[in-house]
Structure 1
């Protein structure tokens, strides 16, 4: 399963845009220096049927900046979600005569710091047993964001709903988001905002699961890779600015997030049912709901600020596996 290490490996960067044309152009600007340092790098921008001026804006930028040699734009006439958009670029690349050695999934709301891609490539070259690696994501001021995670369990779902310090401490090894590491380390999965994948991983497990519209698809992909024997690593030397939640508003961190869309709940449900079965999915729902109800009671009496998305409890219940069984 180990890959042959090339002296000058090829890299395909895939950026999926949805109504973030200006951010995508800024992301491409940040890649110019990386392209010069890694000449075997190509970029494909997929527009997921934005329906605004994104295609025209990006096309104009490519032409005016003379990026045609390394950037290709694919305007899709259908918005099938994050996995679908990435697969539009990955599928033909894997079927071509000149297959890329690595594929980097990069969000349009990112800007890469100097040598960010080079650090990822070097790490993958030096560790041929590693299938996936991710960058350190950070705010524009350099504040790190949590981007290396553990696989979710029933206990992490309880902790997510309950939010009680002593329980979080007891469940420390089970919580999804451990503290940000300053060192390169192995992890279960990493955020898809900047995720490099060895070509052989796709050959082992296939493409991203397009049944996920948005969210949980990179988690699912890392789990399938893990089950196939590929490890996943966090590489903090590769630094990428991430302007969180610009496309969906779901993961905004500087303000109260918007109401969670149905596709978020559908993706969560699909992940647990697909990978652990219906019974386990029901248990995760029960524990999250129990924990969240206790949290709401405690926050009411302690007068804690409400920073949850609107209607979170109702939306979670009505989109849960439990509700499906009782209706």
Structure 2
């Protein structure tokens, strides 16, 4: 058995019951693996921390030394909360060999955590490994992606067969690989990260409140020489959007537009960011035309196009900052 340690980080925001279920599954999967679980409450303010603390005590998790609870002190979003958990490290003060990020509404299958860790142990140039993700209805979720581009956003917004075939190499969410495959980036719902990747990148950029934070982390990891891989043979069950409510959005929230713009400004610059927005608008207009001519259903939240344009114009007038926000320092291995 390898002695490589894993710190599983679970972020809670007002989902204590789901988080308790995630902890149960993670505790089961961490048996026999060196390491611990740290649960970060992201300033829920709804009694979540107290409920989690009672459950962890009642189940004997705290006494086992395999699970700790910490409070973030503020709701800085997904990346900021995960940075808090990773910074906490192991209870003996050491940094783990691997960080395993698990959503509070996800439950790993038997062998998932070990399988991701062992893949990284066996693949020296791999920095991140993501498992397959499926819904409670057993439907697979698309969680392995290409990096966003102007062409990719145009294709996604147009939703038109001939254009998709023409731009098939730019599709951001291609069909899921059937075999273990290198990808550009993967969802953070079930993601194993090598310690050296976090040391090299500094962790998540906390300017991303929600969305695009994993995309950015994988992009920076790639720049440091670390690849991301998707493993379809290990998996988790995931409810999805339990904290964000994305599935029931009536309007796209401001933070999604903020995160998208920050990603393009940071990775490609102001001119490309503007071009990507124009490409997205053009694709959305094609879909609107198809809706008029072919009675296609609404596919975006209400007023998505007008909200996108308004956000872009306000950002241009406000001269948004292009520098990333300070990133939480992640400790080097102190053993």
Unaligned runs of 5+ residues in structure 2 are 319-335
Q: Which residue is 1:292 aligned to?
A: 284
1:319 aligns to what SS in structure 2? Answer: helix
Do structure 1's residue 58 and structure 2's residue 79 form an aligned pair? Answer: no
How many angstroms apart in 2 are the aligned matches of 1:180 and 1:147? Answer: 8
- What is the rounded CA distance, in whole Å, between the counterparts of 2:92 and 2:304 in structure 1? 45
In structure 2, how many angstroms separate the alpha carbons of the residues matched to 1:95 and 1:43? Answer: 10
Conserved? CA contact 1:249–1:258, under 8 Å: no
Counterpart mapping for 1:105-184 below 5 A: 105-184=101-180
CA deviation map 1:194-225 (0-9, x unaligned): 11100001111212101111110010000000
* Structure-1 residue corresponding to 2:261: 269
Whole-angstrom distance in 1 between the partners of 2:6 and 2:32: 12
Superposed displacement of residue 161, structure 1: 1.6
Q: 1:102 to 1:292 in 2, by over 3 A?
A: same
Which residue of 2 is the match for residue 49 of structure 1? 43
Report the count of equivalent residues.
316
Shift of 1:169: 1.1
Alignment partner of 1:246: what SS?
Answer: coil
- How far did 1:118 drift? 1.1
1:257 and 1:16 mapped to 2: Cα distance?
22
2:30/2:113 contact within 8 Å kept: no
> Within 5 Å, which residues of 2 pair with 1:83-98?
83-93=79-89, 97-98=93-94
Q: 1:314 to 1:94 in 2, by over 3 A?
A: farther
Question: What pairs up with 1:174-323 in 2 under 5 angstroms?
Answer: 174-250=170-246, 252=247, 257-320=249-312, 322-323=313-314
Structure 1 gaps of 5+ residues are: 1-5
- CA positional deviation for 1:323: 4.3
Report which stretch shifted further, 268-277 or 72-81: 72-81
TM-score by length of 1: 0.93
SS at match of 2:89: helix
Alignment CA distance shift 1:156-1:303 (3 Å): same
1:324 aligns with 2:315: yes
Over aligned residue pairs, what C-alpha RMSD do you find? 1.7
Aligned to 1:104: 100
CA offsets per residue over residues 49-106 of structure 1, 9 Å max, x none? 1111211111111001000121111123311111111111212328975220000111
> Residue 44 of structure 1 aligns to a residue in which SS?
strand
Contact 1:83–1:213, Cα closer than 8 Å, also in 2:
yes
